[in-house]
Structure 1
Amino acid sequence: MQQNDGMGDAFSEEMLEHYRLGDDPVRFPNTDWKGILLRDYSAQQRYNLNVSGAGQRVNYFVNAGYLNQGGMFNTEEDLSYDPSFKLDRYNFRSNVDIQLTKSLKAMLNLGGYLEKQNMPAGIYNDLDFLSDVSPALHILAQLTVDQNATVPGPLTPEGEVVTWQGGFYPPFGSLNRSGYVQQTRNNIMATFGLEQDLNWFVKGLSAKAWMSFDSKTTNNMMASREYLKLVQIIEPTADGSYTVHFQNMGDSKTTPLSLSGARYFTTLSNFQGYLNYSNSVGKHNFTGLLMYQQQKNIIDAQLPYNLRGISNRITYGYDSRYFAEFNMGYNGSEQFKKGHRFGFFPAFSVAWMISNESFLDDVSFLNNLKVRASYGRVGNDRIGSRRFLYLDDVQVGSGGYSSSLGLGQRVTTRLLKNEALQWEVANKVNVGVDLKVFNAIDVTVDVYHERRDNILRNRGTIPVLNGLPTSVLPPVNIGVVENKGYEIELNYRKAINSDLSILGKLNLNYATNRQVFADEPLLDESFAYQYRQTGFRIGQNFGYLVDRYFTDEEDIANSPKQNISGHEPRPGDFKYVD
C-alpha cells in the first residue's frame, strides 16, 4: 500500500533479514507476544445438584449450581492487588406445582444467581482486549519509510512498562499495571401462578393467572491507577554502533490506586391473566384465548416504563383442511398523551391444506401441500431515546438576566412538545406455500409486503426563518417506508439406513425497502437526484462509481480531469466513471 502511495517500502530487505536471523534483538526484536500475554489453557469448574420428586398433589424440582472460570491472559502475581480474569457464579432454581383441588393448581417458581467477576481495570472483557494483543499492529499502521520497526519486549530491565510512540494502552500495562475491577451481579426471579379448570362451566374452558418479578443488580468497584510508560530510543554512534535508552512517553507516571464505584438495577414486574378455550364439535375445531397484561419496568432512577393491554386469539379448523385465525391487541403506552395512548392492532390469516383433499388421495408422492395468506397490523411505542415527547422539555439553567427586581434564572426550552404523538404502525401482508414430496423434499415459499406509517422523524422542510432553532422542534409521525421481498427455502432429508442420512438445505432471500415520504426539501434540477431519501432505500449511499486504477501518468493525462477533495490523482488511485 505504501508503494502505491509513492512512499517506498516500510521494511527493507536488510531489515527483514535481521528479523529472520535474530542477530540484532535490540533493534529488530522477535518478541513472543502470544507466550507473554496468553496462557496455554484456561480452567473451568462446574458443579450441579438436582433434587426432584412427585406425589399425588405436589411436584417439585430444585437445582443448585456453582461455576468457576479462569481467564486466558497471563497476569503478574507479585502485585499488591489481583488483576487476573476470573469468575465465580452461584445459581439456584426451584419449581413447585401443587394440586390444591381437583380443578385448581398453583405454581411457584423461584430462581436467581450471584456472580462475582474480577478483571484488570484497563480491560473490560477478553474480546475487546484482543485488538491490543500485538503492539506490532499499531506500529505497522504508523510507520513511515525511514522508521525502524522496533517492537521491544513488555518491560525494561528495571521492570517498567515499555510502549511505542502513541501507544497509550500497551497490552502488558493494561493487564498488570492499570488496577482492577470487581463486578458483582445478582438476579432474583419469582413467578406465582394459578390455573383453574372451568370444564364444569363450559366444556374446554380454563383460566390462568401469572404474577412475576425479576430484579437485576450490578455493582462495579474499580481501583484504577496510571503507570509509567517508557519508549525505547535507539541512537546511532560515530563508530557505527548504537546506544539504547528509554524515554518517558509524555508525562506518564505511576500513581496510587484510586477507588470508584457504580450501581445499576432493573426491576420488572408483570401480571398476565388468561381465559383459554379449546373444543371440537364433529369436524369443527375451535380454540380461543383472551389475555390481559400489565407490566412495569424500573431502570435505575428513571421513571417506570408502563405497558397495559388486552389481546385475544380465535382459531377455527374444519376437517384438517380449512383454517382461519383472528388476533387482536388493544395496547396502551405511557409514551403518548391521553387520547392517543391506546392502539388497536388486528391480524387474521387463512390456510388451505390441499393435500388433505380427497381428490389428491391417489397422488402418493405428495405428502403436504398448503397455501396460506395473512394480514396484520402491529404497533411500536419505542420510538426514540427520549420519553414523554408530548410534554415540553424545559430546563432551568444557571446564569440569567438582570432587572429592577434583581437577578433571575434562565429558563431554556430544549424541546417543544408534540401532543399529537401516536403509535408507529406497520401493515403486513404475507402469502406462502408449503410443499413436501417423496417424504424427503420440503419447499417453503413466502412473499411479503410491509408498509410502515407514522414513523417518528424530524421535519426537514421547515425553514430556519421560523425563529426557532431546529434542535427544539419536536419529531412528528410523518415517515413512511415500504418493505417487500420473498424467501424460498428448500430442504432435503433422506434416510439411507438407520446409521446414515443425507441432509441438504438451500435458502434464497430477497428484501428491499423504499422511503415513501421523508419530508425533505426538493433540490433544484442541477442535482442528479432531487431527493436523497424519498424514493430510495434506507441508508442509500451516493458517490462515484469506480472504473479501474490509473496505470501511469500518461493514463491520468489522457483521462477526464479528476480532482477529488482537492487532491490530484496518482498512479494506483481509483479512476471514476465520468
Structure 2
Amino acid sequence: YRRYNLRTNIESDFAKNFHFTLGVAGNVGRRHTPAFASGGTDGSSSLGEQGWLSIAHQAIMMHPYLPEKYEGLYTATLQNNTSLPNSPLAAIYDSGSKKTRSTDLQTNFSLSYNVPWVKGLSLKINGSYNYGTSHNKNLNTPYSTMVRNSSMDWIKSADPRGTDLGINIGEGQYTYEQMVGQGSINYVNSFGKNNIDLMALVEARDYKENSMSAYAKNLPFKELPELGQGIATDSPVGGWSNASRSAGYVFRLKYDYDSKYLAEISGRYDGSYKFYGMSGKRWGFFPSASLGWRLSKEKFMSGLSFLDDLKVRTSVGLLGNDGVSAYSFLSQYTNKYSSNIVINGVLSPAYYTNVIANQNLTWEKTLSWNVGFDFTMWNGLLGMEVDAFYNYTYDILTAMGGDYPPSMGGYFPTYANNNKIDAKGVDVLITHKNEIQLAGEAFKYGISGNLTFSKTRWLVYPDSPNTMEWRKITGTTYGSLMGWQAEGLFKSEDEITNSAWYGTRPNIGDVKYKDLNGDGKITEDDKAVIGRSNRPQLTYGLNLNCSWKGFDLNAQFTGGALFDVSLTGTYYNGYDDNTVWTQTFKEGANSPLYLVENAYSIENPNGTFPRITTGHLTHGGDNGLSSTFWMRDGKYIRLKSAQLGYTLPKRWLTAANIQNLRVYVEGSNLFTISGLPEGIDPESPGVNNGYYPQQRIIMGGISVTF
C-alpha cells in the first residue's frame, strides 16, 4: 500500500474586519492485495478479507507438518467432507490480484466579518467540498493445490472459489461528492461581570455517490487483464447511485456571571429526507440545556487555600438519529428474485415488493441527563472529573421482518419506531502532575487514570408472544449472549439414557445441556441468556508521561471488565460459529493444545474439555454449540502504546542550523494480560474463525526542526 498526501492552509485578513481561511487536502492511494482477500470468482462475492475461508482462516486450518510444495504446487489441508482446500500460500500467491487506485480531495473555507458598529457582532460563512473516486480491478486466476486423501496419497485439488469462469476479471469505479454550507450570526459581549455568547446557524448538506462495475470470464491468459479479452458473465454490468440532502437550524445561548454561575441553552431543528414530508415527521427539534456553578469563586470557599478550582454542573438534552434505510416511507420493488410470471402465455420477469412503506417513521430520540463535578488542588497536583449519566432512547428505528401477511409482502421487511433502551453509568478521570529535582535536573511527570461504567438494558424489544419467558430480550442487558445452559460432561451411558440431548445420541465425554422446558429433548426453546454482552460494561485506562535530561517516556494502558467472550463465536441471538477453539481438529484442521491435553477420556476421567473428535459431522460438532460451557470472563489490561524519546541538546545542533532534533522508538499493542486462550483478542467483539488479528508494531523515527 502506498499513499501520498498533500495539505495546505491559508489565512488572510484581506480587508478591515474581514478574515478568510482556506484549507485544501488531498491524497492518492495505491493498494495491491491478493485476489482471494477481495472477493469471489466474479470479483464481487463473499470469500472476503475476513472470516470463514479468508487467508487468516486458512492459516489457522493449515497443517504445519506439510511441505510448502509438492510437485511444484502449494500443499493444502482438505476440509472434512468438502472439496475446499486450505492453503494460505496459494491464496496469497496464485489467486490473482486486486489493484485499487483512490483519489480524495477535501476543501474547506470560512469567511467572517466583524460588524464594526455593533460590538461583539460577527457574521460567518463556512463551506466544504469533498470529492473522491476509486477504481479497482480484480483479476481471479484459478489455481490448484496438492492435498492428501484418506490413503495418504497426494492428489490435486481445485480452487475453493470454483473454476467455472476460468481466468476472470471484475472492474469497478466508485465516486462520491459532498457539499456542506453553513451561515451563522454570532454575538459575544460582556456587560460588567455578565458575559453573553449567542449564535444562530443554518446548515445544508448535499451528498451524491455513484458506482458501476463490469465482469468478464474465460480470459485467454492473465498477462493481459482487460475486460475486452474475456467473455461477458451472466451479469456483465452492474451499478447504482444515491443522492441525499439534509438541512438544519441551530441556536445556542451561553451566559455566565463572573465565570461563577454558568448557563447554556441550545437547540437543533433538523430535517431528513429519510422521513415522509407529508406526515409532518420529517423535521425534528432537539433542545438541550446546562447549568454550572463554580463554587471555588464563592467567598465561603476562600479559606480553602489548597483548592484551585471546584465546579458542579448538570445538563439535559435531546438527540436525534435518522439511521434508517432511505425511502423506507415508500413501498419498494425489486426484480432480483428468481421468480417469473406468465403473461399472455409468455414467461416474463416479475417485480416483487421487498419493503413495505411506513409513512409514520420519524426520528429516533435519546434523552440524556448528566450531573458532575470537577476540581483541581494544590496548583494542579491533583485533579478529578466525575460525571453520572442516564440516557433514555426511544422510537428506536428497527428493521421489522414478517410483520405483514403474504398478501401485503409476506416476510419482506419494513421499519418501525418501536423499541426502547436505557443506559446509566459514571465517568471518572483523575490526574496528577508534578515536578521534582533529580540529580540536579527537573524530573517532570504526569499520571492520569480514567474509568467508565455503563450498563444498557432493553426496556422494550419486539419479542414474539410465543417466546418462552427465559428467551425474552425485554428487560435483559443490551447485547446479552444467548445459548444453552451446560451441565458439564456426560460421564456414563446411564446418564445419557436418562437425559435430554441435542441431535443424535451423544457419547461419554460430550457436553450435557439443560432441558429448560422439560420436554425431554434439547431444542431452540431451551436457549436462554447465558452471558453478558461481549462489550465491556467497565472500561479503564492509565496514561503515564515523564521527562528528564532530554529523555521522555509516554505509555498508555487500556482495559475492560464485566463482559463475556464465548469461544464459540456466539452472537446475541444464540447462533455460533463452532470455532477451532471449541472443537478438536475441526474440519480436519489444527487444534489448540489445551483442548487435546485436557480432553475427557477413559484414561483422563477428570478432563475439563469434551472428548477428542475429528470432523464437524460427528456428534462432536454439537460440543461446540453456543453454551455456558464455552463462556469466559473477558476482563483484560493491555499496554496499548509506549514511546521513548531523546531530544539532543541545542548546543550540539547550532553548527548544523538545526533548531530541534528528537529520536524516538515506539510500539503499539505491546502486551495483553487476559484469561482468554492464546490467539483470542479481548478487544474483538467476539471469537471468530479467521479475522485478521491486531498487530504488534514497533518502529523508530527522527523529528527535525530547522
1:358 paired residue number: 299
Contact 1:548–1:576 under 8 Å retained in 2: no
Contact 2:62–2:87 under 8 Å retained in 1: no
List aligned pairs for 1:242-321, cutoff 5 A: 246-250=154-158, 257-300=167-210, 301-321=240-260
Contact 1:415–1:471 under 8 Å retained in 2: no
1:99 paired residue number: 13
List aligned pairs for 1:548-559, cutoff 5 A: 552-553=491-492, 557=495
Q: Secondary structure at the match of 2:373?
A: strand
Q: CA deviation at 1:422?
A: 0.8
Does the alignment pair 1:207 with 2:130?
no
2:459 paired residue number: 516
Q: Secondary structure at the match of 1:492?
A: strand
Q: 2:474 aligns with which of 527, 530, 534?
A: 534
List aligned pairs for 1:431-510, cutoff 5 A: 431-438=371-378, 439-457=380-398, 467-472=407-412, 474-497=414-437, 499-510=442-453
Q: TM-score, normalised by structure 1?
A: 0.71
Contact 2:144–2:158 under 8 Å retained in 1: no
Q: CA deviation at 1:468?
A: 3.8
Q: 1:420 aligns with which of 360, 372, 376?
A: 360
Relative to structure 1, the CA distance from residue 413 to residue 577 in structure 2 (aligned partners, 3 Å threshold; closer, same or farther) is closer
1:138 paired residue number: 61
2:683 paired residue number: none
1:164 paired residue number: 77
Distance 1:175 1:460 in 2: 40
Relative to structure 1, the CA distance from residue 225 to residue 212 in structure 2 (aligned partners, 3 Å threshold; closer, same or farther) is same
Higher relative contact order (CA 8 A, sep 6+): 2
Distance 1:510 1:229 in 2: 51
Amino acid at match of 1:290: A
Distance 1:234 1:577 in 2: 39
CA offsets per residue over residues 448-472 of structure 1, 9 Å max, x none?
A: 11111111235689685x8545424
Q: CA deviation at 1:553?
A: 3.2
Distance 1:283 1:507 in 2: 35
Distance 2:59 2:5 in 1: 42
Q: Secondary structure at the match of 2:241?
A: coil
Distance 1:548 1:506 in 2: 41
Distance 1:499 1:340 in 2: 62
2:313 paired residue number: 372
Contact 1:228–1:253 under 8 Å retained in 2: no
Q: CA deviation at 1:102?
A: 0.9
Relative to structure 1, the CA distance from residue 313 to residue 541 in structure 2 (aligned partners, 3 Å threshold; closer, same or farther) is same
Distance 1:210 1:489 in 2: 35
Q: CA deviation at 1:447?
A: 1.2
Q: Secondary structure at the match of 1:174?
A: helix
Relative to structure 1, the CA distance from residue 409 to residue 180 in structure 2 (aligned partners, 3 Å threshold; closer, same or farther) is closer
1:186 paired residue number: 103
Distance 2:496 2:166 in 1: 65
Relative to structure 1, the CA distance from residue 467 to residue 197 in structure 2 (aligned partners, 3 Å threshold; closer, same or farther) is same
Distance 2:89 2:142 in 1: 13
Amino acid at match of 2:157: M
Q: CA deviation at 1:326?
A: 0.8
Contact 1:225–1:255 under 8 Å retained in 2: no
Contact 1:179–1:224 under 8 Å retained in 2: yes
Relative to structure 1, the CA distance from residue 546 to residue 257 in structure 2 (aligned partners, 3 Å threshold; closer, same or farther) is closer
1:67 paired residue number: none
Q: 1:337 aligns with which of 261, 273, 276?
A: 276
CA RMSD in angstroms, aligned pairs only: 3.6
Distance 2:481 2:364 in 1: 26
1:70 paired residue number: none
Q: 1:561 aligns with which of 490, 494, 499?
A: 499
Q: CA deviation at 1:94?
A: 2.6
Q: 1:382 aligns with which of 323, 328, 331?
A: 323
Amino acid at match of 1:113: N
Q: CA deviation at 1:473?
A: 5.7
Relative to structure 1, the CA distance from residue 178 to residue 132 in structure 2 (aligned partners, 3 Å threshold; closer, same or farther) is closer
Distance 2:418 2:505 in 1: 41
Distance 1:381 1:368 in 2: 40
Ranges in structure 2 where 5+ consecutive residues have no aligned partner:
40-47, 211-239, 517-706
Q: CA deviation at 1:336?
A: 0.8
Ranges in structure 1 where 5+ consecutive residues have no aligned partner:
1-86, 141-148, 236-243
Q: CA deviation at 1:133?
A: 6.8
Distance 1:407 1:133 in 2: 46
Amino acid at match of 1:509: T
Distance 1:558 1:134 in 2: 35
Distance 1:123 1:319 in 2: 61
Q: Which has the larger radius of gyration?
A: 1
Contact 2:402–2:412 under 8 Å retained in 1: no
Relative to structure 1, the CA distance from residue 288 to residue 533 in structure 2 (aligned partners, 3 Å threshold; closer, same or farther) is same
2:4 paired residue number: 90
Distance 1:135 1:330 in 2: 51
Distance 1:523 1:575 in 2: 22
1:220 paired residue number: 136
Q: CA deviation at 1:273?
A: 1.2
Distance 1:393 1:461 in 2: 16
Q: CA deviation at 1:201?
A: 2.9
2:369 paired residue number: 429
Distance 2:31 2:499 in 1: 60
Q: Secondary structure at the match of 1:89?
A: strand
Contact 1:227–1:255 under 8 Å retained in 2: no
Q: 1:151 aligns with which of 66, 74, 85?
A: 66
Amino acid at match of 2:31: Q
Relative to structure 1, the CA distance from residue 569 to residue 260 in structure 2 (aligned partners, 3 Å threshold; closer, same or farther) is closer
Q: Secondary structure at the match of 2:124?
A: strand
Relative to structure 1, the CA distance from residue 494 to residue 97 in structure 2 (aligned partners, 3 Å threshold; closer, same or farther) is closer
Contact 2:288–2:317 under 8 Å retained in 1: yes
Amino acid at match of 2:330: L
1:5 paired residue number: none
CA offsets per residue over residues 399-445 of structure 1, 9 Å max, x none?
A: 434469x8887453222211111111111111111122333222222
Q: CA deviation at 1:164?
A: 2.7
Contact 2:402–2:410 under 8 Å retained in 1: no
Amino acid at match of 1:120: P
Relative to structure 1, the CA distance from residue 571 to residue 380 in structure 2 (aligned partners, 3 Å threshold; closer, same or farther) is same
CA offsets per residue over residues 289-342 of structure 1, 9 Å max, x none?
A: 111111111122423121111101110011111100111101111011112211
Amino acid at match of 1:163: A
Q: Secondary structure at the match of 1:304?
A: strand
Figure out how many residues of one structure are paired with residues of the other and give that number: 464
Q: TM-score, normalised by structure 2?
A: 0.59
Distance 2:2 2:404 in 1: 59
Relative to structure 1, the CA distance from residue 408 to residue 88 in structure 2 (aligned partners, 3 Å threshold; closer, same or farther) is closer
Relative to structure 1, the CA distance from residue 472 to residue 563 in structure 2 (aligned partners, 3 Å threshold; closer, same or farther) is closer
Relative to structure 1, the CA distance from residue 299 to residue 169 in structure 2 (aligned partners, 3 Å threshold; closer, same or farther) is farther
